[in-house]
Structure 1
């Protein structure tokens, strides 16, 4: 079957590519070498360029640091130019010869994101990877949550992710790029005092699914929601929890500890590496298993009830 014949069976293709645009060629699966058989490289992201919103924050800067160490160049976007430049200099120092831009940009404005993306291409030549990590959050009951406060978080998290994706879209298609949306697990079971953030992250997850479907045919093959759980030494953990809450929170994580920024970075490396060539539209919680507890173990004193002494019965 020819490439044209393959696409003729995809009745939805014209809706995506338009009547005046040709779809990308279909690649026979046997023509793509598996990462298990292809030659390995010490630097799986060497020569790649990553565009990261929220790049001056603890989690996203950790992701970018890991990628730069392994050979990537980067542009980190922050609302404050001086913060972005300072963080970019810090990251660039990790690998001699690396190029890391610190750019001012407001994710709430698609024009601002487009300007940052254009500057990245001008200085670094292209964009291969997109990390949408800009976020805003605070604690508020629904009754105390104003419409403006709700909109603010939606604009930063959801609209911001859309705008960054829009700005990088042509580069991602051209370079068969990859996207990671930094999301959360707040919206799966409902989380008190998080109506705004949970609603925004639910939208981010859906955006990821849509990008998987619509850009997959262009080779943009890792439109993945990336869900960090409670992570030590981050702004969110210190701002949104007190010590009592932290102690109880650890008990409800199956691995019995908070995550590390480096562990989120490890997952990022995997998703942007050849090892994840066939992963797209997936949801990968990096939360020590907390998602599976869903906060329902308080009454049975997890993990005490599962840590019985003695041998397992047959």
Structure 2
């Protein structure tokens, strides 16, 4: 396949569905060779087949991002198939609504282990397999990293850590020519996260609080990942890129033009 990323190897963790799978498809449309990874063997096999059906060269690997030795083996297999990694996206995540007084320590730890430890594992285990200089690493974070939210103490803590992992690795790995950034999506329609965290009956109210008055699309996040990994972004590292319709700015419901 031809395209901006023809011949490049793009590895996406947490890519059995949703935003991360759309990111994989975005790079595939631009000619990249794709490795997708997720813990469900059945789901990741289907995701890889979908990429191949769309014309991509794609490999699916079943592995839990909490399993560091498993990730080491996954990288070895991916590199054997597609060569050194040019772009790496760490997007595995877990979340649910829960008041802190009803949240068990184990439930808190589960989200932190998937989101925060998983991001560190995905990035750290990749080091020996990255194109250096030139690799682009992207974490998928969330607005909870900087905005405290009720019933989200576990996700807020985990995503705050993801932001700092991103920035610390950007400092440490920049001298090797490896860039590390993060994308913070806002409300993205037709995703599992929105189905779990947002009541459909409140859709109009939620959109009315956004500066751009609508949910984003999975393609918006994929396009941001393509930009961050392109030559046009070669001087960007350690950045948390909000792709959120202005939700980070606060409540825009009273800011309609001309009112």
Q: Specify if TM > 0.5.
A: yes
User: Which residue of structure 2 aligns with residue 110 of structure 1?
Assistant: 68
Tell me how far apart the structure 1 counterparts of residues 256 and 116 of structure 2 sit (CA, whole Å): 39
Kindly report which structure 2 residues correspond to 1:3-82, keeping only aligned pairs within 5 A, or say none. Answer: 43-82=3-42
User: Which residue of structure 2 aligns with residue 239 of structure 1?
Assistant: 196
Match of 1:149 among 87, 107, 116: 107
**Number of matched residues?**
258
Deviations 1:136-163 (A, max 9, x none): 0000011011100000001100100111
Kindly report which structure 2 residues correspond to 1:142-291, keeping only aligned pairs within 5 A, or say none. Answer: 142-172=100-130, 174=132, 176-221=134-179, 223-291=180-248
Q: How much has 1:67 moved relative to structure 2? A: 0.2
> Whose radius of gyration is greater, 1 or 2?
1
Q: How much has 1:308 moved relative to structure 2? A: 2.8
SS in 2 for 1:308: coil
SS in 1 for 2:117: helix
Deviations 1:286-311 (A, max 9, x none): 10011011xxx3xxxx43454335xx
Q: How much has 1:51 moved relative to structure 2? A: 1.2
Which segment drifts farther, 230-239 or 171-180? 171-180
Deviations 1:102-142 (A, max 9, x none): 10101001111111111001111221111000000000011
User: Which residue of structure 2 aligns with residue 303 of structure 1?
Assistant: 253
Tell me how far apart the structure 2 counterparts of residues 283 and 252 of structure 1 sit (CA, whole Å): 22
Q: How much has 1:173 moved relative to structure 2? A: 5.3
Tell me how far apart the structure 1 counterparts of residues 145 and 171 of structure 2 sit (CA, whole Å): 22
TM-score, normalising length: structure 2: 0.96
Q: How much has 1:218 moved relative to structure 2? A: 0.2
TM-score, normalising length: structure 1: 0.79
- Name segments (4+ residues, structure 1) moved above 4 Å: none
Tell me how far apart the structure 1 counterparts of residues 255 and 17 of structure 2 sit (CA, whole Å): 38
User: Which residue of structure 2 aligns with residue 292 of structure 1?
Assistant: 249
Long gaps (5+) in structure 2: none
Q: How much has 1:247 moved relative to structure 2? A: 2.2
Q: Which is bigger in relative contact order (C-alpha 8 A, separation at least 6)?
A: 2
The CA RMSD over aligned residues, in Å, is 1.4
Kindly report which structure 2 residues correspond to 1:83-162, keeping only aligned pairs within 5 A, or say none. Answer: 83-95=43-55, 98-162=56-120
